[in-house]
């Protein structure tokens, strides 16, 4: 069975890995990048370099883009005729930007699927690499076999085009605080002449513990019942002093202040004896899905 021809627009680290996986799976692959020289390694592996983004779009029924932002994607495709093409974007961005992109694609007659890849370029093509999509299910079904080439764990979240961006930003919010917390730990150990590597076994167990309690928290959040805490707001409030105590070991702890402020606000709102997951109520500031069902004392 002949493989679907695919065009990949955007050959940065991620776009190049996507094009590489498609070539390896035997898809006729046309590529375009603003800086054409980045296509050279792919051309040597069989990719066809299009002279313009418009030519690239004309070459295949399925167009996969991986530029820095949605805005960059629109800029690159501005002069291309997208009518009838299946357009799949795989850049990061906010749900609102995804909705704008969907409108733009619709106006140009494209069939649009918005995707997100939550892994690094070297993981592209692996059986457990997760990519999720929101938008036109018919496009997803039609090209599922091709999309699975990019990662075996390929999921359609729903017809709403902003769902991939919504889940991506929802999951992604943990990354920077978790990493900065880890780097702060490494700085604390360094202040005592200890290698960051010695933190690894304990940090790993810590992250495993966090994963293990997430289902408890989601149950509390979804039911709005925070009244039987395994870890209360008061406990976290008391712990803030110990966190800040790392300053005495020569560590800059200023980044923690907004999180401690959030915990203090929860205490002031009367949530001290509730589960720490009640912070979700403070973080919900009136969006469509926000809940006001927290059982206050
Ligand atoms: N790398 C990762 O680990 C990773 C993981 C998950 C998701 N992502 C997401 O994937 C997307 C791409 O990431 P990347 O790592 O591949 O970035 P990158 O290496 O910096 O590449 C960016 C790409 O966007 C192109 N570009 C940017 N602005 C443009 C414009 N105005 N017109 C035309 N082309 C433009 C660049 O073209 P030039 O080559 O001409 O500059 C390049 O092809 C981002 O949204 C990123 O968040 C990346």
pLDDT tens per residue, range 85-117: 999 999 999 999 999 999 999 999 999 999 999
> What's the whole-number average pLDDT of the chain?
94
Q: Are residues 17 and 118 in the same domain?
A: yes
pLDDT tens digit string along 21-72?
A: 999 999 999 999 999 999 999 999 999 999 999 999 999 999 999 999 999 9
Domain of residue 269, residue span: 173-294
Q: Are residues 157 and 216 in the same domain?
A: no
Q: Are residues 122 and 262 in the same domain?
A: no
Of 122, 139, 169, the last residue of a domain is 169
> Is residue 243 in a domain?
yes
Q: What is the CATH number of the domain that holds 159?
A: 3.40.50.720
How many structural domains compose the chain?
2
Q: Are 237 and 263 in contact (CB under 8 A)?
A: yes
Query: Which residue in the block uniquely carries the two structure tokens 């290698």?
Result: 195
User: What are the residues whose beta carbons fall under 8 Å from the beta carbon of 133, sequence distance 6 or more?
Assistant: 88, 113, 114, 115, 116, 140, 147, 154, 155, 156, 157, 164
Closest among 135, 108, 103 to 54, alpha carbons compared: 108
Q: Is 14 in the pocket of ligand 1 (CB under 6 A)?
A: yes
> Is residue 22 in a domain?
yes
Of 113, 137, 169, the last residue of a domain is 169
Q: What is the CATH number of the domain that holds 278?
A: 1.10.1040.10
Q: Are residues 71 and 56 in the same domain?
A: yes
Of 144, 169, 194, the last residue of a domain is 169
Closest among 156, 75, 173 to 116, alpha carbons compared: 156
pLDDT tens digit string along 181-229?
A: 999 999 999 999 999 999 999 999 999 999 999 999 999 999 999 999 9
The rounded distance, in Å, linking the Cα atoms of 157 and 90 is 15
Res 268: pLDDT:
97
Q: Looking at the predicted structure, is the pLDDT value of residue 269 above 80?
A: yes
Q: Is 64 in the pocket of ligand 1 (CB under 6 A)?
A: no
Where does the pLDDT of residue 292 fall: very low under 50, low under 70, confident under 90, or very high at 90 and above? very low
115 CA distance to ligand 1 middle (Å): 14
Calculate mean pLDDT across residues 276-290.
Answer: 81
14 CA distance to ligand 1 middle (Å): 7
> Is residue 1 in a domain?
no
Q: Are residues 131 and 32 in the same domain?
A: yes
Q: pTM for the full model?
A: 0.87
pLDDT tens digit string along 130-164?
A: 999 999 999 999 999 999 999 999 999 999 999 99
Q: Are residues 228 and 153 in the same domain?
A: no
Closest protein CA for atom 10 of ligand 1: 91
Tell how strand 48-49 and strand 86-89 pair up.
Answer: unpaired
């Amino acid at each position: 069975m002949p493989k679907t021809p695919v065009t990949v627009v955007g050959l940065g680290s991620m776009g190049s890995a996507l094009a590489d996986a498609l070539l390896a799976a035997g898809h006729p692959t046309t590529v375009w990048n603003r800086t054409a020289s980045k296509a050279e390694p792919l051309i040597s592996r069989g990719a066809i370099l299009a002279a313009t983004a418009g030519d690239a779009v004309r070459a295949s029924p399925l167009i996969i883009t991986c530029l820095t932002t949605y805005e960059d994607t629109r800029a690159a495709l501005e002069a291309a005729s997208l009518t009838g093409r299946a357009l799949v974007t795989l850049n990061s961005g906010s749900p609102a930007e995804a909705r704008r992109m969907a409108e733009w694609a619709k106006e140009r007659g494209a069939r649009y699927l918005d995707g997100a890849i939550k892994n690094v370029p070297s993981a592209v093509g692996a059986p457990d690499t997760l990519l999720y999509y929101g938008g036109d299910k018919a496009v997803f079904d039609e090209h599922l076999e091709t999309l699975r080439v990019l990662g075996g764990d390929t999921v359609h979240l729903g017809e709403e085009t902003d769902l991939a961006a919504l889940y991506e930003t929802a999951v992604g919010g943990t990354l920077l605080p978790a990493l900065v917390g880890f780097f702060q730990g490494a700085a604390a150990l360094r202040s005592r002449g200890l290698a960051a590597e010695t933190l690894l076994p304990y940090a790993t167990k810590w992250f495993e513990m966090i994963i293990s309690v997430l289902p408890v928290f989601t149950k509390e959040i979804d039911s709005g019942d925070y009244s039987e805490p395994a870890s209360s707001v008061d406990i976290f409030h008391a712990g803030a002093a110990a966190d800040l105590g790392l300053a005495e070991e020569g560590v800059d702890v200023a980044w923690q202040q907004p999180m401690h402020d959030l915990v203090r606000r929860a205490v002031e709102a009367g949530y001290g004896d509730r589960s720490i997951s009640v912070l979700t109520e403070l973080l919900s500031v009136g969006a469509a899905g926000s809940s006001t069902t927290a059982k206050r004392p």
